[in-house]
Amino acid sequence: MNETPMQVIDAIYNRRAIKQFDAEHRMTDAEETELLEATIQAPTSFNIQHWRFVILRDPELRSKIRKEFGNDQAQMTDASLLVLFTADMKAWNKEPSRYFSNAPKEVAEMLVNWMGPFHEGREWLQRDEAQRSIGMAMQTMMLAAQGMGYQSCPMIGFDIEKVAQLINLPADYVMGPMVAIGKGTKEAWPKPGQLPLGDVVFENGF
């Protein structure tokens, strides 16, 4: 990790989707742990923490995904770390009390009792919540990586069904994007442009 940590606002502005990585670079175990521990600080509804991170470490698996199902994206094999984001849509119904192990008893009981009725029979909500949580965890990981002096690239350009089969994705899980992390070897293009705030921010309604 850098001796002088990057400020959060700097990480936000400096993070870019990098496509070229040093294929020889490897993150240390300690760096991986630091990155993942930071990632799981991302918020989730009811503190369900239903994201499940699949570290695609096997070089042959990564090569297969790149060549057969990943549109030959070099970062899939060259990045130091390739993480596939998934989430358990039924985590709300799997020992929910464990999500509040450090909370006061009355708070834990209240939230556990709310969790079932909130999710039960609302499959669309379960899926939406899973994807929302994946998105927040992805951004947390990419900003953490930037702060650690690494670059990242989020990716959806792969065959979701084929990759799901390769990793034996459980039936009640949802698939999200991948994030490549590593040492970038080429600067990103200039930012193509952000919409002005006036186009995207509204007061009290449209």
Give the CATH number of domain 8-187. Answer: 3.40.109.10
Tell me the pTM: 0.93
Percentage of the chain exceeding pLDDT 90: 94
Q: Give pLDDT tens digits for 14-42.
A: 999 999 999 999 999 999 999 999 999 99
* Distance (Å, whole) CA 177 – CA 183: 20
What strands, in cross-sheet order, belong to the sheet with 81-88? Answer: 51-55, 81-88, 173-182, 151-155
* Distance (Å, whole) CA 18 – CA 145: 12
Reference 79, options 153, 5, 156, 161; nearest CA is 153
